[in-house]
Amino acid sequence: MTSYGGILTAMLTVPTFRIPIDSVEDMVRQTKIPWRLEVGSFMYQLFRDSENEIYKKAYLGSGAMQGGCWTNKDEIRNGDYVAVCIKIMALSAMAWDFGETGKCHMYLAKQPVYQMNLGVMIMQKNFIYREHFDDIILRLQEAGIFSKWLVDEIRNVSQCLLPPGSDMGEALPPALPLDSLYGTFLLLLGGLVISGVAFVLELLSERFSLSCKESGDQFGH
Any domain includes 82: yes
pLDDT at 16 over 70: no
Confidence of residue 185 (pLDDT cuts 50, 70, 90): confident
Is residue 15 a part of any domain in this protein? yes
The pLDDT of residue 169:
44
pLDDT of 103-115, one tens digit each?
888 888 888 887 7
At 27-75, the pLDDT tens digits run: 999 888 899 998 888 888 889 999 999 999 999 999 888 888 889 999 9
Is 167 domain-assigned?
no
Neighbours of 87 (CB within 10 A): 20
Kindly state whether residues 76 and 107 are assigned to the same domain.
Answer: yes
Q: How many domains does the chain have?
A: 2
Nearest to 15 by CA among 27, 4, 3: 27
Three-state SS letters, 157-191: CHHHHCCCCCCCCCCCCCCCCHHHHHHHHHHHHHH
18, 108: one domain: yes
Last residue of a domain, one of 136, 161, 186: 161
Q: For 121-172, what is each residue's pLDDT tens digit?
A: 677 888 888 888 888 888 887 888 877 777 777 777 777 776 555 544 444 4
Whole-structure pTM value: 0.57
* Residue 50, domain extent: 6-161
**CB proximity list for 111: less than 8 A, separation 6 or greater:** 22, 23, 24
Same domain (yes/no): 101, 203? no
